[in-house]
Structure 1
């Protein structure tokens, strides 16, 4: 996957790191290419331009022709050549490469040339699309450049749950369209669950006659109340012809569709349609049944279903779920108990393994491979199974160590049904907030794996579960821009990741979202942070990256709304500060009348005068580590530390026994050599507690991306006492505890200001 391109007629350019400061502002490409070199001048694409193709690239040429016409009203011509003439405006060349999906692109003032094999040319076209202007102009100017590119991972995925709320064929196609624009190539289609069966199965028509109309039957009182949904759900299903249509649409965009048919749990819709599938209870108790009985009828039923699914989907994999199975139900099932006795199974987990392995054997007989959630590890993993690791990374790591292929899609980072900011300010969702920064910082290849074991990590995938997502506009809001982070972390080289550059590029995508009428969540106003300060005035300039955006703000702690007076950015706030103020912002843009809200607390404190002299100071901080089950730091006063030492801000995380944690206490001084305004923050994703001369300046336990904190302090020359504490674990491993800079300047080096 990481081989160097070896095109017959093209030389691969060396990988080149490009920062925002050195690259022409046109190059805000996501995902970041392996190599990008700016050229001189621009290529002007006019109407009636010719897109030259060969037989293999003709469909891609027509795709580009349609895109230019639909989005810009630009009429171009596609011509097929055996050898494309050099003077053709846009040339799409199919050439051999030993690197899958690789391409090169040359933009000169005279022409555009994109070369690659198969998907590579298509991905080059997506890069070209991102270089086009955002406004609908009859003349399109593209900056000259040379790109050589290829993906890091072969699995770059997004899921879509259509079982809780149904999405139409056109809505699914638009979802696939935007995936393809960012080189995501695997669409995981969650077609069945407790709340709905969405795929036509000829042999069992009640699956869609009844199982696709759960909300209808719930309203009639014939099905349980759909209590996890924010409404009554959306009924519907896809006919086989509609499935074929979507598959062809995805194939034209080099997107593979992974169908998921849930079993043995999450099967209530199927059981509602065919009750004999449900797990029987020998006690006669009546309760909600979501588990399939492991009977011969069930296995024959699911094999029949999968036979029809396999006939539709040409891809290599079939996802069978396997998650959250209520396996204890089997212990009361006469069928399951008899199965355990007959097959010498010792526990319900081994029944799960037996079930999955039988389905795997069937899939292998049809030349398909099984994918399941990480619960399929329980009781013994099927021999050829690929594991999707969702309950954190542990299942994926275990499977990779067993030499099974893995797709990393762990909580919390890859779950887009979580809010994208403070839960009180966002649409309702599952789990604590997950910001785009948290997604971007995720690394699919764990340090716990050897180099050989990392080869079993196929890639990563973002997931969305739609109990709380009632329509396509809401879906787009929840998935983007977080999906852009998935695109870059699965495509771009690991050593090319740059979160500041990505943030800048991400904000430049909103012109495209507007062009596509796509409702991605708006970016936050930067700098709306919780602030501790000893200054008598609060000054802040509200800037925003999207032209035409407006803001409504208040300093009295009350949130503005659509009826409040608005003003364009930038906005300068400069007010006296006696105690505390509550900043509230309400930002709008032209895209679908969307708005986002932000809050911040600004608190004034008094910092003691600096100590002028402290004897025998040494660089770094003193630290103590406590291995304990106690979660109240105040109760550790009389305990002896398990470890002491000095640190340059990174305290090693030491393993602890199950049930124990690592409390870390740090103590020392900040040495200030120059009187000035300083900004003190933390590099921890989940913040520590920090005290400057016993004044709390950073509050413990807040996610820095969800509730950012900083101290803005005017400090005189001298020494200030500093202490703090935090729980050391994998979340903050190798992250920087304290960051200090002069306001408006660069970060200072810890070795010059941290003492003990």
Structure 2
């Protein structure tokens, strides 16, 4: 990507051309340089082919490679035979190779491919992989051999080629977390057995190992229960009954819904399929809320209202009949699923309904329960006792903390991290799956340009940067964090291709953050690796969302010429673009990348792009405003300047920035760093940070000003707003590209401090050569 903005011609200097490094934030610069260099190497170097996700613990590229052919034999031992047949089937399906699998008691040293069970490493899933010109050797314990095969699959070329060459390398690898999850809600929209199997297939390719199957909810009951046939006869056909006027209109769905259910035989088939791929299935049977489909099938289960009011009933009544029903259902579920965990939901329970239920009120009196939250706790604890009696462990959403946590419960923390942190401090196991980072029903970019979804955008970068073990936990408490999981709720996801669009590539970020060591993550390298996966996505017919054009950013500038080159990482991509604020569509002329843009900038303009790829039917829309401003230095006596910015901390519930001046600050200080650590208060107030001072420029030239906050602050020079507040830096990147004369410029801004931005860089200022300036050299106050 090359972007140039030519400076004001009225300046007493020649037009200044800003370099790539000047125009892009630091992490994007490094990413782009890495991508460009690696794409060049890809053709000539074996090392460039090593783009394994998740990043292995140790990886060494070597010279040469191994050639696969029909004469290659896969040598296995008895324990690795299933994995050997998996590899055989994969190579046949995607590369039309017909390799033989031979079972040995001791695999011969000269065998071309050796899958050997046994590894001194005691960590479940650890493996070693060696590719040399003479052959391939994978050694692992448990799932380790399978994970080694997945790394091998990513070393194969994405296109069928002869000869089929694997780059030489050595890998020694092991997972950081044992819970590396991905959910699928089949209640809101039903997905077939084949669709679920494909979902599991792709999970396995990236070493995700827990498939959370959300089988029941208000919109549908999807699992056969022999003792209660109406659950599927009626409860799985909510969409049908809604169309007949016998059920409420499914108002949250993007369409009229998709009915269906899984027979027990189909569920056993899916479980075996997952087991062969070392994926554990976690079934979820929702209770006591989100139970409308069950109540529609068996109305007596629903919470009765003593006032006689008629309203939507999604809550189970805490009656003995209800507990008998749930125990019967769970008995059949346990008989199907061999894993140790059963998820019982527990979220968003409309507990106020119990206060009008004669059954619930009587239960409160009998058990001495003080409020409806304690009824929830009673319900969950009673179900937990039943599960424990069946040698199973209960998992629930973080609402199960309310009223008292069940003794052995594992908490899935979805309402942010607070529930998970609380549970870990109580020495309960936790799976971190918090909003917003782990919710893939959110759009992946600017929500106005993406398919409809819940919540603000969640980009793959946000997912990748998430850390499951909070700094609020001690090392001992952090050990209770089992891992993390990405979630997808399907109200707005009507079919498989849409599902794949929403889940990928974000699920790859979950894979790396749960598998790879925290210290071994690198967002620039990961960005390059993602882009190398699109050949595999095409091979697997996976409709992963296409990458954005890097650098379509909102820019504030005082230049009078806008010049840029649009580039794209996928060969065969085309773009349609406009500069008049109108979004181009499929009727506009498609142009192959790269595209050069060179236009005068007398006022602001809006760049809009419509990107397509010949190997995919998607289109990716992007938009950026190029805003022209006038920047002038102030008449400031530099002799009176002191290092650092003035900043004020203001505690208030006020959300309107304009009213902050009427509120006395709790702290007034000076900061001379670009990332002051300001921790938020915890008394229910917001912690506003307001700062002002000056930027002192000692040498006239071109400069880039950005913020490293994930959610941007407001940054001003004089009265000009350079960085707009409350924008997600990944979904709507911003930068100011300014030609500044020698002098002093009034600088100010504000933001709300939180636990995330207290660790992030408020301000970055770079020269045209890409040099990051020390804030102590340019930030001043009077």
* Same topology, TM > 0.5: yes
Equivalent position of 1:14 in the other structure:
none
Question: Paired residue for 2:495?
Answer: 471
- Please say if residues 373 and 403 of structure 2, whose CA atoms lie closer than 8 Å, have aligned partners that are also in contact: yes
For 1:150-195, what per-residue CA distance to the aligned partner results, in whole angstroms no more than 9, with x for missing partners? 0110000000000010000000000000000000000000000000
2:719 to 694, 702, 714: 694
Separation in structure 1 between the aligned mates of residue 634 and residue 124 of structure 2, nearest angstrom: 61
Contact 1:74-1:138 within 8 A present in 2 as well? no
Residue equivalent to 2:372: 348
Distance 1:733 1:88 in 2: 55
Query: 1:701–1:117: structure 2 CA closer, same or farther, 3 Å change rule?
Result: same
Is 1:721–2:742 an aligned residue pair?
no
8 A Cα contact 1:551 1:586, kept in partner: yes
The TM-score, its normalising length taken from structure 1, stands at 0.96
The equivalent residue for 2:114 is 91
For structure 1, the residue ranges without an aligned partner over 5 or more in a row are: 1-18
Q: 1:635 to 1:610 in 2, by over 3 A?
A: closer
Q: Which moved more, 1:624-633 or 1:166-175?
A: 624-633
Deviation of the 1:137 alpha carbon? 1.1
| 1:147 counterpart = 2:175 | no
Match of residue 57, structure 1, among 80, 84, 88:
80
1: distance between equivalents of 2:286 and 2:660? 48
Instruction: Report the alpha carbon displacement of residue 663 of structure 1 after superposing the two structures with TM.
Output: 1.4
Report the Cα offset of residue 244 of structure 1: 0.4
Is 1:664 aligned to 2:698, yes or no?
Answer: no
Q: Write the distance in 1 (CA, Å) between the matches of 2:675 and 2:396.
A: 38
CA contact (8 A) 2:411 2:429 kept: yes
Structure 2 SS opposite 1:489: helix
Q: Distance in 2 between matches of 1:276 and 1:237?
A: 22
Match of 1:749 among 774, 778, 781: 774
Q: CA RMSD in A?
A: 1.5
Give the counterpart of 1:485 among 509, 534, 540: 509
Partner Cα distance (2:736, 2:730) in 1: 16
Question: 2:425·2:473 contact (CA, 8 Å) conserved in 1?
Answer: yes
Moved more, 600-609 or 650-659: 650-659
**Does 1:223 find its partner at 2:247?**
yes
Task: Say yes or no: does 1:132 pair with 2:156.
Answer: yes
Match of 2:565 in 1: 541
Hey, what does 2:187 align to over in structure 1?
Answer: 163
Q: Secondary structure at the match of 2:562?
A: strand
1:44 maps to what in 2? 67
- The equivalent of 2:532 in structure 1 is 508
Whether contact under 8 Å (1:679, 1:741) holds in the other structure is yes
Contact 2:580 2:606 in 1 (8 A): yes
- Structure 2 counterpart of 1:29: 52
In the TM superposition, residue 700 of structure 1 has moved relative to its aligned partner by 1.1
Name the CA distance, whole Å, in 1 between partners of 2:703 and 2:256. 53
Q: Secondary structure at the match of 2:605?
A: strand
Q: Which residue of 1 aligns with 2:737?
A: 712
The alpha carbon displacement at 1:42 in A equals 1.6
Contact 2:688/2:751 (8 A) holds in 1 = yes
Q: Deviations over 1:672-701 (max 9, x none)?
A: 343332221110111111112332111111
Counterpart-to-counterpart distance in 2, 1:409 and 1:49: 43
Spell out the pairing of 1:534-683 with structure 2 (5 A cutoff).
Answer: 534-609=558-633, 614-643=638-667, 644-683=669-708
C-alpha distance in structure 2 between counterparts of 1:581 and 1:516, whole Å? 40
State the partner residue of 2:91. 68
Match of 2:444 among 420, 432, 440: 420
CA distance in 2 between partners of 1:234 and 1:103 (Å): 41
Deviation at 1:748, TM superposition (A): 2.9
Deviates more, 1:63-72 or 1:715-724: 715-724
- TM-aligned CA deviation for residue 610 of structure 1: 6.9
What displacement does 1:611 show? 6.1
Counterpart among 366, 381, 384 of residue 360 in structure 1: 384
Q: Give the match for residue 555 of structure 2.
A: 531
| Matched position secondary structure for 1:305 | helix
Distance across 1 between alignment mates of 2:599 and 2:71: 57
Decide whether the 8 Å contact of 1:265 with 1:325 is kept in 2: yes
- Are the aligned partners of 1:399 and 1:405 in contact in 2 as well (CA < 8 Å)? yes
Deviation for aligned residue 1:744:
5.6
Q: For residue 276 of structure 1, what is the aligned residue in structure 2?
A: 300
Question: Is the 1:619–1:754 Cα contact (8 Å) retained in structure 2?
Answer: yes
Distance in 1 separating the partners of 2:658 and 2:315: 47
Tell me how far 1:639 sits from its aligned partner: 4.0
2:309 paired residue number: 285
Name the CA distance, whole Å, in 2 between partners of 1:634 and 1:734: 26
Q: Secondary structure of the residue that 2:703 maps to in structure 1?
A: strand
Whether the 8 Å contact between 2:680 and 2:755 is mirrored in structure 1 is no
Residue from 402, 423, 427 that aligns with 2:426: 402
Summarize the Cα distance change of 1:640–1:295 in structure 2 as closer, same or farther, 3 Å threshold.
closer
The whole-number CA distance in structure 1 between the counterparts of 2:603 and 2:317 is 64
CA contact (8 A) 1:191 1:261 kept: yes
Structure 1 window deviating more from structure 2 (336-345 vs 21-30): it is: 21-30
Structure 2 alignment gaps of length 5 or more: 1-33, 39-45
In 2, distance between residues paired with 1:509 and 1:121?
Answer: 22
Judge conservation of contact 2:549–2:566 (CA < 8 Å) in 1.
yes
Is the contact between residue 73 and residue 138 of structure 1 (CA under 8 Å) also seen in structure 2?
no
Normalised to the residue count of structure 2, the TM-score between the two structures is: 0.92
User: What is the distance in 2 between the residues matched to 1:335 and 1:591?
Assistant: 59
C-alpha distance in 2 between matches for 1:216 and 1:641: 59
Q: Distance in 2 between matches of 1:638 and 1:593?
A: 54
d(CA) in 2 for partners of 1:670 and 1:141? Answer: 56
SS at match of 1:425: coil
Which runs of structure 2 are paired with 1:165-314 in the superposition (5 Å)? 165-314=189-338
- Evaluate the alpha carbon distance shift between residue 246 and residue 743 of structure 1 in structure 2; reply closer, same or farther with a 3 A threshold: farther
Q: Residue 428 of structure 1: SS of its match in structure 2?
A: coil
Question: Which SS does the other structure have where 1:84 is aligned?
Answer: coil
Once the two structures are superposed, the pairs formed by residues 315-326 of structure 1 within 5 Å of their partners are 315-326=339-350
Shift of 1:616: 4.9
Distance 1:433 1:361 in 2: 40
Deviations 1:72-115 (A, max 9, x none): 11221111112212222111111133111101111112111111
Tell me, yes or no, if structure 1 residue 333 matches structure 2 residue 357: yes
Shift of 1:505: 1.0
Residues 1:522 and 2:514 are matched in the alignment: no
Structure 1 counterpart SS, 2:285: strand
1:449-492 CA distance string (max 9 Å, x none):
11100010000000000000000000000011110110011000
Aligned to 1:615, what secondary structure does the other structure show?
A: helix
Secondary structure at the aligned position of 1:578 is classed as coil
Provide the residue aligned with 1:453 in structure 2.
477
CA apart distance, 1:563: 1.1
